[in-house]
Structure 1
Amino acid sequence: MVLAFFSACAVTSKGPSVAQLTDGRQGFVIRENPEMDAASRGEFERAVAMMNAGENDKAIELLTRVIDRSPGVTAPYINIAMAYVRTGRTELAEQHLKTALGLVPDHPVASNEYALLLRKGGRFKEAREIYEKALAGFPDYLPARRNLGILCDLYLNDPACALKQFELYSEGMPADGQVKIWIAELRMRLGW
């Protein structure tokens, strides 16, 4: 998943904030200040298109310029981190994800991407902590819920944790047949 959104920018806000939607829809709104200028928005959109086309090195160049002009906005840091992961430069990816989380500590997407990076690097305990922190603030952020289930099942040998995460995920994504299979397998392994 490539972030193809811009965080909403609150002109009257003194700093960034993350809030869940309260109008019956699932999701969250990130309000950041400062905002991107028109040139940065255009370059950000082009970078997203490049990432979707597999042109990650070109996207990194554009996103670097966007970050230079708009250092207080999280989306470019998250996307450049994703591009760095795709090109095998995980140290740079981690630096950018830490920067995004420094700007908006409870950012669910940045947290999910960072935990994925930690998991891939064998840092399972840290990954679990990041997922759990993200889900404490955003329990309906389903990608983190699913990924925590995978971490618990395949890497931490904690089938009870995995089952709980997959069941919660499945409530929000009932059409995901693969997770239903995982739930059935975990129940059999646990003797439930």
Structure 2
Amino acid sequence: MIEQAHCRMASPLLAIVTIIVLSMLSGCGSMKARPTDSATVLETQSGPAFLDEELPSGLTSLLSQARTEHQNENSERALQILQQAAQEFAEYPQPDVNRAIVYMQLEDYEQAMQATENALSKRELYAPAVNLQGVLHRINGDFEQAKQSYQNAIASEPNYANAFLNLGILADLYLQDFTLALSSFEAYLNLVKEDEKVKNWVVDLKQRIPEE
């Protein structure tokens, strides 16, 4: 789902909830309350106030158009609109972050990484872009680099819930660092308050950690 801008009324990144992720997470409860291998691209509807940003009305309009096209499964048109937005509002990283998300759904990971680099050239250490780079590193099997990216996103913006969530899943499923997974999930829950799936993951981890 394309990042949606609402000026000051809501975060421009709170709508990054990909269609793929929603379908992936719907089946997580059947695996002893643990995240599944597929649950790796995570952006939630709840999010921190730091992402609130007043955007130009023209950029808001283009992001909204792109989101609609993407929801209608017209990814090519969505990318065209986002490219236009990136050109017309060159100082803003949001169009490039959205382009990265679309490319990730198309499994064009090279283009996705380039889009995140473009976003970071406009705003250094922009947490959503760094977080997405972590996802891309995870997809490429570079788990330590993924961990570093998530931690960099958190260092850049300590209230960025999505980086904690992705770090927790990486630690649980790929690094088998259950202590890190637990602390990451708990930090995530402290920020978003309500997420029943993640609460279940925490319960499961607390049961497993004493057995180590």
Q: TM-score by structure 2 length?
A: 0.72
Q: Which residue of structure 2 aligns with residue 4 of structure 1? A: 4
Q: How many residues align?
A: 173
Superposition pairs for residues 1-192 of structure 1, below 5 Å? 1-5=1-5, 26-29=48-51, 38=58, 40-191=59-210
Q: Percent identity?
A: 28
User: Which fold has the larger relative contact order, with Cα–Cα distance below 8 Å and residues 6 or more apart in sequence?
Assistant: 2
More strand by share: 1
Contact 1:145–1:166 (Cα < 8 Å) also in 2: yes
Report the Cα distance in structure 2 between the residues aligned to 1:6 and 1:95, rounded to whole angstroms. Answer: 26
- Post-superposition shift, 1:186? 1.1
Q: CA RMSD in A?
A: 2.4
- Post-superposition shift, 1:37? 7.4
Contact 1:145–1:165 (Cα < 8 Å) also in 2: yes
Contact 2:75–2:102 (Cα < 8 Å) also in 1: yes
- Post-superposition shift, 1:96? 0.8
Report the Cα distance in structure 1 between the residues aligned to 2:6 and 2:137, rounded to whole angstroms. Answer: 25
Contact 2:143–2:170 (Cα < 8 Å) also in 1: yes
Q: TM-score by structure 1 length?
A: 0.79
- Post-superposition shift, 1:2? 2.7
- Post-superposition shift, 1:163? 0.6
- Post-superposition shift, 1:147? 0.8
Alignment gaps of 5+ in structure 1: 9-24
Alignment gaps of 5+ in structure 2: 9-46
* Distance verdict in 2 for CA 1:37–1:164, change over 3 Å: closer
- Post-superposition shift, 1:157? 1.2
- Compare CA radii of gyration and give the structure with the larger one: 1
Q: Which residue of structure 2 aligns with residue 20 of structure 1? A: none
Contact 2:116–2:129 (Cα < 8 Å) also in 1: yes
Tell me which stretches of 4 or more aligned residues in structure 1 moved more than 6 Å: none
- Post-superposition shift, 1:54? 2.4
